[in-house]
Amino acid sequence: MENITTTPKNTKSIPPQTEKVISLDQTSAKITNKNSQQQNDLLQIIAEFLEEYREPISEVLKAYAKKIEQQEKNYYWGFIIVLMIVVAIVATIYVLAVKNKLSSDAIGFLLGTIIGYVFSLLDRMLGKQKR
């Protein structure tokens, strides 16, 4: 028996890979020198930028700090307003219950809904302080 081998007609011959010998010490030294030069250039650019825009940057930082302080005050005022609304709703439920205008099922439903909302609100407030 004769061995017959065939090759597909549309294949290209692949050239043999050439090996490159690179000294790792020289390459790493070149990379380190290049990186440190780039870092020095970047630090110099940042320093020049900060020096040139020192006053506007400080104004922006002061405004941001003031906004954060104001935001906390607004947050607590909002909480007080929501709490007053909840108290007004509970007082209205109480008045309607005393006058026998609400059934006990309705009172339980409304109070349960309000208590759930208060717990959710407290969770958001306390969760915000933890983070």
Query: What is the per-residue pLDDT across 36-69, written as a single tens digit (0 to 9) for each?
Result: 788 888 888 888 888 888 888 888 888 888 888 7
* DSSP notation for 23-84: -HHHHHHHHHHHHHHHHHHHHHHHHHHHHHTHHHHHHHHHHHHHHHHHHHHHHHHHHHHHHH
pTM of structure: 0.44
Place of tokens 């306390």: 126
Query: What is the per-residue pLDDT across 12-30, written as a single tens digit (0 to 9) for each?
Result: 555 454 444 444 455 555 5
Q: Considering only CA atoms, which of 30, 34, 118 is closest in space to residue 82?
A: 118
